[in-house]
Amino acid sequence: MKRFAATFLVLSWVVMGFSFAFLVPMAWDWFLEDGRNWKVWAWCFMFTLATGAWLWVRNRENRDELTVRDGFLLVTLVWVVLPAYAALPLMFVVNGISWTDAYFEAMSGLSATGATTLAGVDLLATSVNIWRCFLQLVGGLGIMLLAVAILPFLGLGGMQLYKAEMPGPMKEQRLTPRLAETARGLWGVYFVLSAACMLAYRAGGMSWPDAFMHMCTTVGLGGLSSHDKSFGFWNSPQLEWTAIVFMALSGISFARYFVLWQQRSLAPVVRDTEVRAYFSIMLLATVLITLMLLGGEFYPDLETSLRQAAFQVVSVSTTTGYATTDYLLWPTFVPVLLLFLGCFVSCAGSTGGGIKLVRMLVLVRVAQRELLRIIHPRVVHPVALGRMAVPQDVISAVMAFMLIYGGVMVGLTMLMLASGLDVVTAFTAVIGCLNNIGPGMGQVGPSGNYGGMNDFQIWVCSLAMLLGRLELLSVLVLFTPQFWRR
């Protein structure tokens, strides 16, 4: 394992850095619950820090440059190992939870999926809900950016990690000359938006703990809540519109906000092809569903119909997964449309999941070009997004990604069906986890959860969340024989 010493060295720093996350629920527990569970969080902090330090001691002499293969291995290891640490306190403070369910909860949090096996979350200790939600804040933008920020201190290059972790096909674009500066800039945007969201929730009537938790899961686009009814708990139009705004803002690439701040101009956002398509799709879907709700007389007035439609559209499209009502009671067309939107609407570089809208736009442009070639075989018609021509290698990568995406979705669905699930629950659970949406249909709809599944099905869903968060290729490349050859 000596050839991977540099990988384990960086992993040790990530684990030690992650250990400090346990201090957040420990602090909340100390101040809000008279220290009922603070020792659990303290022991988990010390254990995680100690194991990370041990791994550092074992590999501290290595300063080799990370290769592309090291980057992919490190990214996957981080997203497999950290949920195991994050699951430890749940085993001690949540009554009756199994290791399978605890790992699922932790993976759901760090992958910003928002799926859960727990019922009665209103009755959980506040520190537990804080932990579940805080994991989504940490995982939203990508824990690997922390590793990118500390790599200069280790004398290691970080572009390999950035390419492996950042979502979307346009991974060669740098916002600043130094990658560590890029990481810090993105984190700065992330936390400014988070602070604004938390204050807006507090002003709308949430308590400070609820405002903190729902800020974590809104900006992280994770969707976990401290209440079984999710946002329906408050029945507050002001809070729902606030969530709509911040979910929509968080679904845009944080790189766009960074460039906006650098240039002091809205042009980078307003002129972006992906951003314009993003808002257009959600607006059209909201109008369509509002008309269906009005036609079916589900709500008494236009404002309520519009708000309910907009909330569910933005929540599922951005892969957040909040709910204010059980939309499975609406016409069947609506929940199916919402799940379809959740597969691709969020922008590359955001905290959302799915295949990303930029890939869908590339596919549409490729389809348009092929239709044109049928009529004019000799025409030269480059695939372009806005004024930028898309390189052929990016097109090839998108096509390969979509092929693998379809194959993985079918394969995981067949595993769920073979385990005894009904077709609706099996298929939509895979969609919900692979695209990091959270809720699906059937047993895993917005009024249900994943608690009715057996251990095998839960592990399949955990794998789907991992694959979705790392966009498939970063994980699947580890299973190719060429990866392990010297």
The average pLDDT across 305-311 equals 97
Least confident of 29-38, 393-402, 441-450: 29-38
Burial of 239 (0-12, 13-18, 19+ CB in 10 A): buried
Between 272 and 338, residue with greater pLDDT: 338
Model pTM score: 0.90
Burial of 376 (0-12, 13-18, 19+ CB in 10 A): exposed
The answer, yes or no, to whether residue 63 has pLDDT greater than 80, is: no
The answer, yes or no, to whether residue 220 has pLDDT greater than 80, is: yes
The predicted-structure confidence for 336-358, as pLDDT tens digits, reads as follows 999 999 999 998 878 888 888 98
What residues does 385 pair with on adjacent strands?
388
Between 256 and 451, residue with greater pLDDT: 451
The average pLDDT across 224-233 equals 91
The average pLDDT across 431-460 equals 94
The average pLDDT across 26-53 equals 88
The average pLDDT across 231-245 equals 94
Between 75 and 199, residue with greater pLDDT: 199
Which band of pLDDT confidence, cut at 50, 70 and 90, is reported for residue 299?
A: very high
Which band of pLDDT confidence, cut at 50, 70 and 90, is reported for residue 261?
A: confident
The average pLDDT across 302-321 equals 95
pLDDT value, residue 211: 95
The answer, yes or no, to whether residue 298 has pLDDT greater than 60, is: yes
CB 438 within 8 A of CB 114: yes
The letter for the amino acid at 439 is: P
| SS3 readout for 83-98 | HHHHHHHHHHHCCCCC
Closest listed residue to residue 163, CA positions, set 474, 476, 436: 474
pLDDT value, residue 176: 54
Angle at 363 between CA 361 and CA 366, to 5 degrees: 110
Structure tokens at 356: 């990303």
The predicted-structure confidence for 70-117, as pLDDT tens digits, reads as follows 878 888 898 999 999 999 999 999 998 999 999 999 999 999 998 999
The answer, yes or no, to whether residue 312 has pLDDT greater than 70, is: yes
pLDDT value, residue 259: 80
Which band of pLDDT confidence, cut at 50, 70 and 90, is reported for residue 470?
A: confident
pLDDT value, residue 167: 56
pLDDT value, residue 144: 45
The letter for the amino acid at 322 is: Y
Tokens 């694959």 belong to residue: 467
The answer, yes or no, to whether residue 119 has pLDDT greater than 90, is: no
Which band of pLDDT confidence, cut at 50, 70 and 90, is reported for residue 172?
A: very low
Q: Chain-centre distance of CA 177, in angstroms?
A: 27
pLDDT value, residue 161: 45
Burial of 92 (0-12, 13-18, 19+ CB in 10 A): middle
Closest listed residue to residue 253, CA positions, set 316, 213, 193, 312: 193
The answer, yes or no, to whether residue 155 has pLDDT greater than 60, is: no
The letter for the amino acid at 237 is: P
SS3 (DSSP) at 271: coil
Which band of pLDDT confidence, cut at 50, 70 and 90, is reported for residue 373?
A: confident
CB 472 within 8 A of CB 405: yes
The answer, yes or no, to whether residue 320 has pLDDT greater than 80, is: yes
The answer, yes or no, to whether residue 361 has pLDDT greater than 80, is: yes
Which band of pLDDT confidence, cut at 50, 70 and 90, is reported for residue 425?
A: very high
What residues does 389 pair with on adjacent strands?
384
pLDDT value, residue 375: 87
Q: Which residues contact 366 (CB under 8 A, 6 or more apart)?
A: 383, 395, 398, 399
The answer, yes or no, to whether residue 444 has pLDDT greater than 50, is: yes
Mean pLDDT of the chain: 86
The answer, yes or no, to whether residue 52 has pLDDT greater than 90, is: yes
How far does the chain reach from its first CA to its final CA, in angstroms?
12
The answer, yes or no, to whether residue 157 has pLDDT greater than 50, is: no
